[in-house]
Chains A and B, each alone.
Chain A
Amino acid sequence: MVETNNDLRTKLRKITFKALKATIKGVLFYSLYFVLWIMFLSPAADKIPGLHQTVETFVMVYITLMILGELTSGTIFQYFFGGAKALFMIGYLMLSLKGGMLGIVFQNVNLIVDLRLFLAIAMLLSLLGLAKSILQAINFMNEKAEYTHI
């Protein structure tokens, strides 16, 4: 995109708009997580040790990457952060779900939950997200090259 007005005021306005958008996105995402947590997962958190911390860490890193992606929007780095988000999702799901077989010991009862199907679907969706980011980056570079050529 050819930038016509390059003065400080426009740049400041752009950055403010990006920061505002990132903040709104972050707050909305965290609110969604908070509602889902209160409604569905908090009863399970009493029985599964470390669940709250695991989910909270995931949400924090995801929101951070999302905000960074928003702040760098309009540059190639936006797609890097998008790809990082997808890769982080795959890695974190693999590690936190221990390959899909979760074992919990609760009052002399060994509980095994098989989440391999969920993990497989989640990883495929994350890979789709990664592919999307790569395609977006290619498209961005392609459009930039076209505009430069013109």
Chain B
Amino acid sequence: MRIPIRMLGVATTILWIFLVAFFASAAYSVRDMHFYFGEPQVSITDNNRVVFSLNVTVTNGGFYNIGSFNITTETLNKQGIMIARNSTFIPVIRRGEQVTAIHNVTVNIDDLSQGYQNDFVNDTELIINEIVSMTIAEVIPIQGSTSFSVPLPASVYKFNYETLVISCG
């Protein structure tokens, strides 16, 4: 009975060392991961769509790969109704690798002016929810989210509405 118990103890100790070492090194790896978000670029397309582009550069200097890197941007109006939602997904960022992705969010002003007449007349603001998620070492899921608001003057809508009226009339 003594030998099996001793073997059980040895196996448990080895597994504990492996578990702690793995999680400690994974936590340590976070220090060597760098995320760089570039300046957001705004452009308006011919079909009345505002495209926000954001350059995202991820440098993985850690010991392990980063899995399922995902950036999601949700654009909501003042009432909390979702106007646009877009995600950028990178399946794997290998260790020692640098990956640059362009995260685009498209807001359709036509839809905005049709659906939200109240905002159309007054100054309003857009609420932006940014959610970044990934799995460290492809095992530990981690998610960071933040929320901020962008003021949107009524003139932006009015201009587009008038353009729409003229084009329809």
**Chain A residues engaging chain B, CB cutoff 8 angstroms:** 36, 39-41, 43-44, 108-115, 117-118, 121-122, 125, 128-129, 131-132, 135-136, 139, 142
Contact = CB atoms under 8 A, between A and B. Distances in A.
B5 A135 contact: yes
B165 interface: no
Interface in B1-43: 1-2, 5, 8-9, 11-12, 15-16, 19-20, 23-25, 27-28, 30-31
B142 interface: yes
Given A40-B28, A125-B16, A109 B8 contact: no
A139 B1 CA distance: 7
A142 B5 CA distance: 14
Interface class of chain A by DSSP? helix
Interface residues on chain B, size class: 20 to 34
Closest 9 CB pairs of A and B: A114-B141, A40-B24, A40-B28, A112-B143, A139-B1, A109-B146, A111-B144, A132-B8, A110-B145
Nearest to B1: A139
Contacts, number: 68
Contact of A110 (B19, B30, B146): B146
Contacts of B19: 118, 121-122, 125
Interface string B120-158: 000000000000000000011111111110000000000
